[in-house]
Structure 1
Amino acid sequence: MAAIEGVPVSWERIRECFSLDPSIAYLNHGGRGAMPVSTQRALQRLRDEAESNPILFFRDLPQRIAHTRRHLATFLGADPDGSALVGNTTMGTAVVLQSLGLRAGDEVLLTDHRYGAVALTVDRECRRSGAAARTVRVPLDSTDDQIIATLGDALRPGRTKLLVVDQVSSATARRFPVEKIAAVAREQGVPVLVDAAHVPGMLPVAVDEIGADFWVGNLHKWAYAPRGTALLCVAPRWRDRIEPLAVSWQQESGFPDRVEWQGTLDYTPWLAAPTGLFTLRTLGLERVREHNATLAAYGQKVVGGALGLAGGDLPDPGAPEVAMRIVPLPGGRASTIDDAMALEARIADELATVVAVFSWDGRGWLRLAGQVYNVRAQYERLAESLPSILRG
């Protein structure tokens, strides 16, 4: 049995790898992730090192960050010299937007599956620059070909300065065919930013083969890194134009150093991120992915069945590897953001179960994730109790 940072890592003792409260069913790994104990210990060791001599720790930090960046970029099939560590996907999106030089008459195009904070980031930059944000509706049951056609038809060459598209959407757990979308946009001269918040660790990916101008993904969800760890990957023609949100002493060093270095931030989460990948590989990358996707699909089926929904009523994520699934809630339940948050809290408080509840396209949706620490019985208990909550 392998051990990382003194923690046993094996399928036979899988739940010991995490610090989750055993009294709850944590079915929302896609929300904030959950660090394995091995990553927690690596993080604490790095923090202890930093506090033992902060000046020495920060002196060598740029080289250590660069080493970590190379490790993470290689795992994702990205060019390390064209990648920068950032706090999260939304922050990476903000870096890209404020580097584009948007002006009045320009537009940024999003789909209605976009993450809420990303949409707010786009809106803010458009207000600052005089550009406009435009949202394209993509029906949940669209095929890949229909998605590609819808987005291709929505582009306005010369005016659309950026297309933002999810690789796996948060609210709808839908995989988008980003490689083909990027190809269509490239033909029309429109840059593409791929929001891949849920991709690292969940799906196999070769970022450089996607053909996007910008790609940003969180490693603190499915790749077991500490929260606050994401990678922004930038195509060569854009790298000289990328500016950080705040200037630091590395400003003249260019990309990626100028983006990564922000003075006295706590950089230990980034340095601990490779431990998360090592844990993932020790458990078996393909085995973890298959387990998680299969479990999420089972959860969707059993919870959907308890609500009277058959297979055709349950949205297809667009790829069997997706480790999140959504279940439509009865009409009138969680149809607003406030109602969705209230229902999510009630399920947590009364059923000791952590799930995600969203309001999307005028109705409520429950999102379930699958992770190695989950078991079928947790979804079955939710299925047994959820109908009474929804009737109350």
Structure 2
Amino acid sequence: MNKPTRVPDRPEPIPGARLLFSNDATVAQLNHGSFGMVPVPVQRAQQRFRDEMEANPHRFFSVGLEERIAHVRRHLATFVGADPEGTALVDNATTGSSIVLSSIPFGTGEEIVTTDHGYGAVDLAVDETCRRTGAVHRVAPVPLTADDATVTAAVLAAITPRTRLVIVDRITAATARLFPVRRIIQEVRATAGDRVAVLVDAAHAPGIVDDPVRELGADFWVGNLHKWAFAPRGTALLSVAPAWRARIRPLVLSWSTEAGFPASLEWVGAHDYTPWLAAPTGLFVLRSLGIDAVREHNAALAEHGQHVVAAAVGAEVPAPTGLPMTLVPLPEGVAAELTAAVALRRRISDELGAEVGLSAWHGRGYLRLSAQVYNRVDDFQRLAEGLPKLIR
């Protein structure tokens, strides 16, 4: 980590971008990484689909809906560089991970490897799978400041002859780290061949990084589009390698179960399909602003805001990651466990009018600050001005 020195230059706002959102301007929204923010044009597109659905529900659900969903799937899969025929729309990355876990017949003593940076809900699903099947959950410890070689070595060191599945994050939720999944997959293949499957949890990746899914070599990949690709919440993709597609089983059986993957996952009766149908409008908004311009703006603003807040609380600054999410370590003993972290996050919201991500990781509290095109430097300054008093 680095001592905060000169605050990086603030980026120029993207003209007109802030007007695309309907967020409460009195609140510093610094937690885009959790729930996203749906642009107004996407909200309107979704409302048009809702209006169509409510005008004649029977016709909406029974005439051509599956073809419309397939069209959206092809559009979104192309955006992330995945095979449309091997990709299914699902509600979120956690759902996709649970589908994968329920589709692999783990035997007693077989192992599922994750890292200690993994998303909590996925860890819960892994633990439940282990209770149900007798499998074993092995956790690879990875230092917060680990470089790519160290991350890769840590994952490989956790693999044994009993390992059946490795789950690795592309961008970690709690610690905002970019993991070298392509390198990890290559090393796993070189070490264990096809004996060990790899699931890439890319919940934050779509819209942030260019990782053509078909080039990664993963057995499974799951990513959300409601975070950084401006889709409505409830829009995610699960991409599956050809060897696994016939073995994928939906969590809920419905009328399309016999159709096989991906339709067996997508059609679940009276589901609200309007987020999926409106998702291409989100990609249109992102492309209209300029994907590279949005990424560069958000990464620069996140780094600037990180330094502003870190200086206010006297924290060391982790090395830049180029991501639109950054970490600020809190003083020792502040938000050091989950209950305390939740309580502090609520106080920040109630008393400072700021929404942040906050996690307790290995006995240390960390603020996770997100930057999106609707944010301004003032949002971070508001947090910086009020936080020192609050954590005292």
Class of the TM-score when normalised by the shorter of the 2 chains: over 0.9
Q: 1:181 aligns with which of 181, 184, 189?
A: 184
Superimposed CA distance per residue, residues 286-342 of structure 1 (whole angstroms, 9 cap, x where no aligned partner)? 000100111111111111111223xxx32236x42x110011101111011110000
The equivalent position to 1:166 in structure 2, one of 169, 192, 200, is 169
Of residues 118, 128, 135, the one that matches 1:124 is 128
Cα distance in 2 for residues equivalent to 1:30 and 1:253: 35
Measure how far apart 1:264 and its partner are.
Answer: 1.0
Residue 58 of structure 1, CA deviation: 1.2
| TM-fit CA distance, 1:11 | 3.7
1:12 Cα deviation after fit: 2.7
Match of 2:150 among 146, 162, 185: 146
Kindly indicate whether the alpha-carbon contact (under 8 Å) linking 1:85 and 1:229 is maintained by their aligned counterparts in 2. Answer: yes
Residue 126 of structure 1 and its aligned partner are, at CA, apart by 1.1
The answer to whether residue 228 in structure 2 is matched with residue 222 in structure 1 is yes
* Superimposed CA distance per residue, residues 57-114 of structure 1 (whole angstroms, 9 cap, x where no aligned partner): 1121110000000000000000000000000000000000000011111111110000
Within 1, Cα distance between the matches of 2:208 and 2:151? 22
2:350 equivalent to 1:346:
no
Query: Which position in structure 2 is the counterpart of 1:195?
Result: 201
Corresponding residue number in structure 1 for 2:265: 259
SS of residue paired to 1:355: strand
Q: Which runs of 5+ in 1 are unaligned?
A: 1-9
Aligned: 1:52 with 2:58: no
| Aligned counterpart for 1:290 among listed residues 271, 287, 296 | 296
1:236 to 242, 251, 268: 242
Corresponding residue for 1:137?
141
Counterpart contact for 2:46–2:278, Cα < 8 Å: yes
Residue 389 of structure 1 deviates from its aligned partner by: 0.7
Instruction: Note if 1:34 corresponds to 2:37.
Output: yes
Q: Conserved in 1, the CA contact under 8 Å of 2:138 and 2:158?
A: no
Residue aligned with 2:246, SS: helix
Q: Which moved more, 1:130-139 or 1:70-79?
A: 130-139
Q: Could you tell me which residue of structure 1 aligns to residue 373 of structure 2?
A: 372
d(CA) in 2 for partners of 1:248 and 1:316? 48
Supply the AA of the counterpart residue of 1:146. T
Deviation of the 1:18 alpha carbon:
0.7
Measured in 2, the distance between the counterparts of 1:183 and 1:177 equals 10
Alpha-carbon separation, structure 2, partners of 1:205 and 1:289 = 14
Structure 2 counterpart SS, 1:281 = helix
Which of the residues 103, 107, 113 maps onto 1:103?
107
- SS for the counterpart of 2:186 is helix
| CA positional deviation for 1:205 | 2.1
Tell which has more relative contact order, 1 or 2 (C-alpha 8 A, sep 6+): 2
**Aligned equivalents of 1:131 and 1:40: distance in 2?**
43
Quote the Cα distance in structure 2 between the aligned partners of 1:31 and 1:147: 24
SS of 2:139's partner is strand
Say which is worse superposed, 14-23 or 224-233, in terms of deviation: 14-23
Asked whether the equivalents of residues 333 and 390 of structure 1 are also in contact (C-alpha less than 8 Å), the reply is yes
Q: Hey, what's the Cα distance between the residues in 2 that align with 1:345 and 1:153? A: 38
Q: Deviations over 1:346-391 (max 9, x none)?
A: 0111110110110001110001001000011211221122111111
CA RMSD of aligned residues (A): 1.1
Mapped contact 1:111–1:165 kept (Cα < 8 A): yes
The answer to whether the 8 A contact 1:33-1:224 is kept is yes
Unmatched 5+ stretches in structure 2: 1-12
- Alignment partner of 1:279 out of 281, 285, 306: 285
Aligned residues: 376
CA contact (8 A) 2:28 2:382 kept: no
State the Cα deviation string for residues 122-181 of structure 1 (Å, max 9, x = none): 111111111111111100011101111111121113x11110110000000000000000
Give the drift of 1:234.
0.5
Q: What residue in structure 1 maps to residue 78 of structure 2?
A: 74
Instruction: Give SS of 1:12's match.
Output: coil
**Aligned residue number for residue 335 of structure 1:** 336
In structure 2, what is the equivalent of residue 112 of structure 1?
A: 116
Aligned residues of 1:174 and 1:316 also touching (Cα < 8 A):
no
- Equivalent residues of 2:139, 2:158 under 8 A apart: no
The residue type equivalent to 2:274 in the other structure is: T
3-state SS in 2 of match to 1:243 = coil
The normalised TM-score by structure 2 is 0.94
